[in-house]
Chains A and B, each alone.
Chain A
Amino acid sequence: MAIVQTRALTKVFRQGSVGAVVDVDLESREGEFLVLLGPSGSGKTTLLRMIAGLEEPTSGQVLIGGEVVNDLTPRERRIAMVFQSYALYPHLTVLGNIVFPLKAQRVARPEREKKAQWAADLLGIGHLLSRRPRELSGGERQRVALARAIVREPTVFLLDEPLSNLDAKLRASAREELEQFQRRIGTTMIYVTHDQIEAMAMGDRVVVMHQGRVRQIGTPADVYDDPADTFVATFLGSPPMNLVETPEATVGFRPEHFLPAGGSASASPSTLSLSFRLDHEEYLGSERILYGRLEGGQFHGAKAVSRLPATFHPGAAHGTVLPFQVERRKLKFFDRETGTRREPVPMS
């Protein structure tokens, strides 16, 4: 078990170009499930590869267990990595794949087989040991990759989008399995994904990255409820947070907090009343998404989205104006120039 730290870690692929990873300071906690989340090209995989030792940093340091490991090879770092493609060795059987890291460490044969059996049982692939990777399903391949990673008892687990090759149904169950697996072994995991649902569901903490920089680090609730800037606010959540420009600030509110005004509540001073001209709606089975524009006042003309339970029927033709409201404490304020959070401005 070990803590992974990075200090001002930077990677520039071509001299003079923008860095793929810029000045990243991270510190994992003991036994934590840390998720690196960001759109493609945000530098999350490069960051992970630098921690693994597969990519050399341009500047900055990587520390594992308090020790600078910049000059150590991947094997000396005692990390394990699961690749997006799983990178199973196609000509070896499942057992051959699992014992390969032990062979490389010159572990004696009886010990090797004991550990392989342990890892295979842990992941429920004991019956597949004599198969070859191409005879396995996507989910089974993933488990083999995990078994190959765990058999060496690494100090840190690095996972690069391990679920992205699975179909949607399998992904949900694989996600759950992976979480349980992490809880059982208790090893620090650093997990790269572009899928916010994976990040929210599995992460103890989420590192949101954009253009090579860390935008926010926090628990899933932190990054969702208290986004540090407009990027985080719009990257997380589907549909994303509504952002409305006012002269003083950019104001944000989540679609699920933008609700039809109902009876007495609308008069309360703790809510902000808004007029919403309905443009079109999407029915998604469990919920209903309304698209439209705000009318009147300082928000006039701004696009807005509302997310409601499917049981709600607007009962109005498209183009009509409906009374809507947002609780004032749900409003987030961002600087108009930099997009970062700022203190609230009074709203009429």
Chain B
Amino acid sequence: MLLPAILYVLALVGVPFLLAFVYAVGDVKVASTGYHFVGLANFESVLRSPAFRRALSNSIIFTVCSQALVLVGGNVLALVLKDAFRGRRLIRFLVLLPWVAPVSIGSIGWKWILDSLYSVINWVLIRLHLVPEFSPPMWLGQPTLAMISVILVHTWHVLPFATVILLAGWTAIPRDIPEACAVDGAGYFRTLFQITIPMLLPIINVALLFGIVFTFTDMTVIYILTRGGPYDTTQVLPSLAFFTGILGSDLAEGAAISIFLLPILVLVAWRMLRTAHRAEVG
């Protein structure tokens, strides 16, 4: 009974996973026919490359910043959407939209919004005399601005998912709890920071861990908006692995880069399962 499922998982997850390890310790290039074991040479070369170190720190910045924004934004949105108001259904639908729309299409839209010549943001800023007309900000062309842009667009994309998880958590808090706080004399912020948010921590944990996995392994937004540029300043590990292994046809080194993601993701996945388990028991 389980056999088809096991075969399926082995074929789609197990084989590519093993292949990545095999490639990472070999000398495989796209279209090469032989295979020579080279030990940890690929890892050495990767670790020595400045591009890799840049990508690693970018990955961390990209994940930490976007998840911080997602947590704050998701909680604020969930708090707003929790209570009944006219048009709540429509607003909930609109909030969910960036998540259900294909990320590539959304990102292409953002590419135009942030374009160096046709940016609608710049058009507005120029009309409001907030930026000089002939040297508006190059949203995707200046290293810091480009990083901020990809972080914001990625946040825009994953925010709805976190919001939905957090909303479920917020609605699961019985009405009695905030009422008891009101009777006990606690104000809004005391209730929020001492009672409801601590009660919500397991759910926040789940949202955060999912968010880290989604962000750390994702390259769509970066690939479409900046291709890792300018000068690799927005390159992250997945995009670097793709550029090196597929577009640069150095499969072995690409595999070595992606294997660096593994320990981090294993750690996150382990914590995720533990939290989920504890939430169940609690």
Contacts from A to B (Cβ < 8 Å): 52-54, 73-75, 79-81, 83-85, 87, 89-91, 100-101, 103-105, 134, 148, 152
Contact = CB atoms under 8 A, between A and B. Distances in A.
Interface stretch (B46-54, B98-106, B110-118, B174-182): B174-182
B282 interface: yes
A85 B184 contact: no
A89 B199 CA distance: 8
A75 B181 CA distance: 9
Contact of A85 (B174, B182, B185, B195): B174
A75 B185 contact: yes
B265 interface: no
Interface string B159-178: 00000000000000010110
Contacts of A83: 176, 179-180
B15 interface: no
A87 B199 CA distance: 12
B95 interface: no
Nearest to B177: A87
A337 B182 CA distance: 45
Instruction: Report whether over half of chain A's contact residues are helix, strand or loop; otherwise say mixed.
Output: loop
A74 B183 contact: yes
Residue from A52, A83, A87 having most chain B Cβ neighbours under 10 A: A87
Contact of A81 (B183, B186, B195, B201): B183
A247 to B, nearest CB: 51
Residue from B181, B183, B194 having most chain A Cβ neighbours under 10 A: B183
B183 A91 contact: no
B183 A100 contact: no
8 contacts: A53-B182, A75-B182, A75-B186, A79-B183, A83-B180, A87-B174, A89-B199, A100-B181
Residue from A83, A90, A91 having most chain B Cβ neighbours under 10 A: A91
A118 B190 CA distance: 25
B198 interface: yes
B85 to A, nearest CB: 16
A135 to B, nearest CB: 11
Nearest to A83: B176
Contacts of A79: 183
A261 to B, nearest CB: 54
Instruction: Report whether over half of chain B's contact residues are helix, strand or loop; otherwise say mixed.
Output: helix
A84 B179 CA distance: 12
Interface residues of B, number: 19
B264 to A, nearest CB: 29
Given A75-B184, A87-B177, A101-B186, 7 more contacts: A75-B183, A83-B176, A85-B176, A89-B180, A91-B199, A100-B195, A104-B186
Contacts of B174: 85, 87
A54 B201 CA distance: 26
A80 B183 contact: yes
Contact of B179 (A87, A90, A91, A103): A87
A87 B180 contact: yes
Interface string B191-217: 000110011010000000000000000
Contacts of B282: 134
A54 B183 contact: yes
Contacts of B198: 91
A104 B179 contact: no
B52 to A, nearest CB: 42
A104 B177 contact: no
A91 B173 CA distance: 12
Contact of A101 (B176, B177, B185, B199): B185
A28 B199 CA distance: 37
B183 A52 contact: yes
Residue from A79, A81, A148 having most chain B Cβ neighbours under 10 A: A81
Closest 9 CB pairs of A and B: A75-B185, A87-B176, A87-B180, A101-B184, A104-B185, A104-B186, A74-B183, A81-B183, A83-B176
Nearest to A81: B183
Given A85-B174, A91-B199, A152 B180 contact: no
Nearest to B198: A91
Nearest to A54: B179
Contacts of A52: 183
A104 B183 contact: no
B185 A81 contact: no
Nearest to B191: A104
Residue from B177, B179, B187 having most chain A Cβ neighbours under 10 A: B179
Nearest to A91: B198
A329 B198 CA distance: 63
A75 B186 CA distance: 8
Contacts of A152: 184-185
Contacts of B187: 104
A81 B199 contact: no
B49 to A, nearest CB: 46
B256 to A, nearest CB: 44
A226 to B, nearest CB: 36
Nearest to A148: B184
A74 B199 contact: no
Contacts of A87: 174, 176-177, 179-180
Contacts of B201: 91
Nearest to A85: B176
Contact of A104 (B176, B184, B199): B184
Contacts of B195: 89, 100
A117 B180 CA distance: 21
Contacts of A74: 179, 182-183, 185
Interface string B219-251: 000000000000000000000000000000000
Given A85-B174, A87-B174, A89-B195, A73 B184 contact: no
B43 to A, nearest CB: 44
A81 B190 contact: no
Contacts of B184: 75, 100-101, 104, 148, 152
